[in-house]
Amino acid sequence: MTFSDAQIIGWLESWFWPLVRIGGVLAIAPVLGARVVPVRIRVVLTVLLTLVMAPTMPTPPYLAPFEAGWWLEIGKQMVIGVAMGFVLMLVFEAVVMAGELIAYGMGLSFAQLVDPLRGAGTPVVGQLLMVLGTLLFLSTGGHLRLIEALHASFVSMPVGGPGLNADNFLALARWGGSLFAGGVQIGLPVVIALLLVNLAFGVMSRSAPALSALSVGFPIALAAGLVLLRFSLPGLAAVMSRMLDDSYALLATLFGG
C-alpha cells in the first residue's frame, strides 16, 4: 500500500487545523488559558482536545504547505480561536473593573496584588471578585460550554471557509461595550453607598474639624465597604450570570452551536 504526498499531508492537516484553532482559544480564554496554568498543561490540553474533536469534524481541503494560502489559513484559524476566547475574557475583565471601582471608594486602590489569571496588578477587591467569578464560571459549566461552542465552530466555520467577516468583527467590537456596562452594574451600588458615606463624613469633619480625615475616615470607609461588599455579592452573581449567558449567545450567533 502506497500513499502520495498529498494524501499524507492532507491527513496531517486534518489534525493540524483543529490544533491551531484550539490553541488560539486556549491562548486567551479565561481559566483554561490563564497565565497561572503552565504552558505545558495548556499544550497538553490543546492536544487532547484536538484528538477528541478532529475525528468528528468535516474533512478540511488540501492546502499545499508553506504557500501563501496555507499561511493565510493559519492566520484565519488563529483569529477565530482568539475571538472566541476574547468574548468570554471580557466578562472577567468587567468583574475586575467593578473591583477597581469599589476599591477606589474604599480607599484600597493602593493595595495591589499580582493577579495570576491576568498577569497584571489588581486591587485586592478585584482579586476577590475574580476568584468568585471564576468559581461561578466553573460551577455553571462555562468551560464545557466554551468547548461545545468550539466544536460547533468547525461546522459553521469550516477550515478553508471565509472565516470572520466585517459583521462578525463589528459584533465583537460592540460586545466590548459590555466590559464597561457590566463593570458599572456590578460596582455601582457599592460605589454610590460609599459616596454617601464619604459625604456624611465630610459633613461631620466640617462640623467637627478635630476629626482627622485619615485616622477616622479611612477606617469608616473601609468597614462600610466590606459590609456593603458582602451584601452586593448576590448582585455580582446575577450580573455575571447574565453576561455569561449573553456571551454564550454571541458565541452561538458568530460561531454556531
Query: Structural domain of residue 201, as residue ranges?
Result: 5-255
Nearest by Cα to 139 from 244, 44, 257: 244
Q: Tell me the β-bridge partners of 112.
A: 123
Kindly state the cell numbers that stand for 102.
469599589
pLDDT for residue 15: 85
| Residue 99 pLDDT exceeds 60 | yes
Phi (first) and psi of residue 106, to 5 degrees: -85, -15
pLDDT at residue 10 above 70?
no
For residue 257, the model assigns a pLDDT of: 58
Rounded to 5°, angle at Cα 49 from 45 and 55: 155
Residue 112 has φ and ψ, to the nearest 5°, of -110, 140
Given a cut of 80, whether residue 47 has pLDDT beyond it is yes
pLDDT band at 214 (very low <50, low <70, confident <90, very high): low
Average pLDDT over residues 236-252: 89
CA–CA distances in Å: residue 3 to residues 8, 15, 16, 70: 7, 18, 19, 21
pLDDT of residue 118: 54
CA distance 203 to 218: 15
The whole-angstrom separation of Cα 79 and Cα 53 is 19
Q: pLDDT for 71-85, tens place per residue?
A: 898 889 899 989 998
Q: Is 142 exposed, middle or buried (0-12, 13-18, 19+ CB in 10 A)?
A: buried
pLDDT for res 105: 75
Query: Which DSSP string do the residues of the chain spell out, in sequence order?
Result: ----HHHHHHHHHHHHHHHHHHHHHHTTSTTTT-TTS-HHHHHHHHHHHHHHHGGGSPPPPP--TTSHHHHHHHHHHHHHHHHHHHHHHHHHHHHHHHHHHHHHHHT-TT-EEEETTTTEEEEHHHHHHHHHHHHHHHHTTHHHHHHHHHHHHHHHS-TTS--S-HHHHHHHHHHTHHHHHHHHHHHHHHHHHHHHHHHHHHHHHHH-TTS-IIIIIHHHHHHHHHHHHHHHHHHHHHHHHHHHHHHHHHHHHHH--
Res 216: pLDDT: 66
Q: Please say if the pLDDT value at position 207 is more than 60.
A: yes
pLDDT, position 3:
57
Residue 9 is predicted with a pLDDT of 66
Mean pLDDT, all residues of the chain? 81
Q: What is the pTM of this model?
A: 0.81
What's the distance, CA 205 to chain centroid?
A: 43
* Contact assessment for residue 240 and residue 234, using Cβ atoms and an 8 Å cutoff: no
| End-to-end Cα spacing for the chain | 40
Tell me what percent of the residues of the chain surpass a pLDDT of 70: 84
Count of the separate structural domains present in the chain: 1
Predicted local confidence at residue 208, as pLDDT: 66
- pLDDT at residue 117 in the model: 54
Grid cell of 42 as nine digits: 495548556
How does pLDDT run across 102-142, given as a tens digit for each residue? 887 776 665 555 555 555 566 677 788 888 888 889 888 88
